[in-house]
Amino acid sequence: MCGIAGLFIKRTRLQPRLGELLASMTSTLCSRGPDSAGFALYTAGEPGRAKLTLTSVEERADFEALGEMLSRAVSAPVSVVGRYTHAVVTVPADLVNLCRNWLLENAQDVRILSEGGHLEIYKEVGYPDDIARSFGIASLGGTHGIAHTRMATESAVTATGAHPFSTGPDQCLVHNGSLSNHASVRRELGRDGIVPQTENDTEVAAGYLTRELKRGRSLGEALKSSVEDLDGFFTFVVGTKNGFGVLRDPIACKPAVMAETDDYVAFASEYRSLTPLPGIKSAKLFEPKPATPYFWEH
Amino acid sequence: MNQIDIGKWSQRDLNMLRTSSDTREIDLLTTSVRDLNATLQAFGSNTRSDEASFRVLTPNGAHAIAVGIDAPLNVEIAGHVGYYCGGMNKCASIIIDGNAGQGVGENMMSGVIHVKGDASQCAGATAHGGLLLIEGNASARCGISMKGIDIVVKGGIGHLSGFMGQTGRLVAFGDAGEALGDSIYEARIYVRGKVESLGADCIEKELRDEHRAELFALLKQADEAHKADVSEFRRYGSARKLYNFHIDNAGAY
């Protein structure tokens, strides 16, 4: 099981409705993954600033105070927007590594879920509809987004074990399926300097794509080589700063249906998840072919 | 072997689809799928074939619509459906005016299911009889483990179609994906387009007169008689080498 919904908006007029549409699409997938859910949204950014989405494994409530300490430590303005159990901390882009290291050393309960100019990730344990409401996903606008409802198989049901996973700036991935060679790929990634933060198999897939992108490959090429290098069954939906990609394993184990109109490209595990979208009745509907990367870019 | 008389099953001929003046409409916006199915399943096998017609509105991709019918009902579904639509169908004529999700007509026993759009994976899986007609394409594993159903797809079929097919006929007007008829038993496959590759123990076979006649009868039921030339199709079936385990064939399983 597990459910995936993805929406890539092609025309600006639907951008303010990204969160609302994504939350509606995800709502029909609750039964596919009732134990946890997550949302990755590419929202507006500020030039020269980077966003870090933070959560705490010890239920830290006061991210404002943490932001003030961080601001003093790096001698630069830091803004904090709290959302339910998460906070988006915006810092100067050139100080992002410094901020990251300071957080890792000084706030050891904090987990950095995403980093980038646009990406924000919200994920929690619980029923997907409740999670979407708690985070206020419907109020967020943006260019593209991916959501996941999880029925855990490979690792524990925790907020940090929920999807989406992000292992590189403005990169994220969700997964339906399970990987059987994630332990060996994890070791290889470790040697290449990419250390997954959780025991989750999907984070290994995200790390794999990050490594391939770092090597200068395009997302399309990275998806193509993952068919050879990752063993198991999977449907991946990935996001980058300005792109959106889909890949299914060679035997197409997991369901996938896509809809395209002049306004958007949408992905879902089941057709009924696409029904809240405007103009769906006249959309071009198709199933992505196995072992074939699909990719759209702004 | 496994000669099957065309038209033997009742209520399977598309030309027999009945139009009833008193069609009852059920809207899934206001009625649950469970209530819809309870209504349809309440008709017994002694129902007259002109007795009851239903039109299902706002399906919105819901799963398990019109499953387990055991009567010659007419059911028209106005839109796309989710998984297992028409599963276990006996005698009913079901028209889907849209696309069908996974497992349409799964384990169908008899009757007709007509998909006006595309069908997702495992169309007609394990089905014992009846006719499944798909106007568009069917994706992977079409007719997997088919046990007597006839499946006619006017578009292409995806990979691993006809996998372990035991009997019945699978016809594709378009192309077939990888590993067609893998580990097939006695199902017969007719493909007009290109076959990406054949699965283990599946081979192309001669298209003899009896096969042309069989295929023509199937095309007739799909309203394609005299529109498509049966000679353009190629026949595929079992080489019968993997029925019983032999150590020399261990690598082929």
A147 and A204: one domain?
yes
Q: Is the pLDDT of residue B1 over 80?
A: no
**A226: in domain:** yes
List, for chain A, all residue ranges whose pLDDT scores fall below the cut of 50.
none
Q: How many CA atoms lie within 13 A of A247 on its CB side?
A: 27
Among partner residues A251, A255, A274, which is closest to B102 by beta-carbon distance? A255
Q: Is the pLDDT of residue B3 over 50?
A: no
A26 and A88: one domain?
no
A235 and A217: one domain?
yes
Instruction: Express each pLDDT in A190-244 by its tens digit.
Output: 999 999 888 899 999 999 999 999 999 988 899 999 999 999 999 999 999 998 9
Domain count, chain A: 2
**Residue among A44, A39, A46, A45 nearest A20 (CA):** A39
**A259: in domain:** yes
Residue of A nearest to B63 (CA): A272
Q: Which helix (H) or strand (E) holds A42?
A: strand A36-42
Q: Is the pLDDT of residue B5 over 60?
A: no
Instruction: Express each pLDDT in B39-65 by its tens digit.
Output: 999 999 889 887 899 999 999 999 999
**A126: in domain:** no
Looking up residue A51, the CATH number of its domain turns out to be 3.30.70.260
**A127: in domain:** no
Domain boundary among A69, A86, A117: A117
Determine contact, residues A82/A64, Cβ cutoff 8 Å.
yes
A80 and A184: one domain?
no
**A16: in domain:** yes
Q: How far is B206 from chain A (nearest CA, A)?
A: 30
A156 and A267: one domain?
yes
pLDDT value at residue A209: 93
Would you list the domain boundaries of chain B? 16-241
Mean of pLDDT over chain B: 91
A165 and A226: one domain?
yes
* Strand-strand pairing, A294-297 and B188-191: unpaired
Domain, as residue range, for A94: 45-117
pLDDT value at residue A218: 87
* Mean local confidence (pLDDT), B149-176: 97
**Among all chains, which residue has been given the structure tokens 């598309």?**
B14
User: Domain B16-241, what architecture?
Assistant: 3 Solenoid (2.160)
A290 and A199: one domain?
yes
A187 and A285: one domain?
yes
Binary contact (A270, B101; C-beta < 8 A): yes
pLDDT value at residue A220: 86
Q: Would you name the residues of A annotated as active-site residues?
A: 2
Q: What is the DSSP letter of A155?
A: S
B121 inside 8 A of chain A by CB: yes
Question: Best residue in A27, A227, A271 to probe B by mutation, most B CBs within 10 Å?
Answer: A271
Q: How far is A4 from chain B (nearest CA, A)?
A: 16
Contact residues on chain B for A251, CB-CB shorter than 8 A? 140, 159-160
- Local confidence band at B245 (pLDDT 50, 70, 90 cut-offs): confident
**A123: in domain:** no
CA dist A202 and A222 (Å) reads 15
A171 and A26: one domain?
yes
Among partner residues B101, B140, B159, which is closest to A271 by beta-carbon distance? B101
In A118-255, which ranges are continuous DSSP H helix? 128-135, 182-191, 201-214, 219-229
Q: Is the pTM of this model over 0.95?
A: no
* Mean local confidence (pLDDT), B169-173: 98
Binary contact (A252, B101; C-beta < 8 A): no
**A131: in domain:** no
Among partner residues A270, A274, A290, which is closest to B159 by beta-carbon distance? A290
Q: How many CA atoms lie within 13 A of B74 on its CB side?
A: 20
Instruction: Express each pLDDT in A115-141 by its tens digit.
Output: 999 999 999 999 999 999 999 999 999
pLDDT value at residue B10: 43
Instruction: Express each pLDDT in B176-229 by its tens digit.
Output: 999 999 999 999 999 999 999 999 999 999 999 999 999 999 999 999 998 989
A158 and A12: one domain?
yes
Binary contact (A251, B140; C-beta < 8 A): yes
- Local confidence band at B7 (pLDDT 50, 70, 90 cut-offs): very low
- Local confidence band at B20 (pLDDT 50, 70, 90 cut-offs): low
CA A292 from chain centre, in angstroms, equals 21
Two tokens at B29? 């916006």
pLDDT value at residue B251: 78
- Local confidence band at B137 (pLDDT 50, 70, 90 cut-offs): very high
Looking up residue A227, the CATH number of its domain turns out to be 3.60.20.10
**A63: in domain:** yes
A28 and A50: one domain?
no
Domain boundary among A117, A148, A163: A117
A31 and A171: one domain?
yes
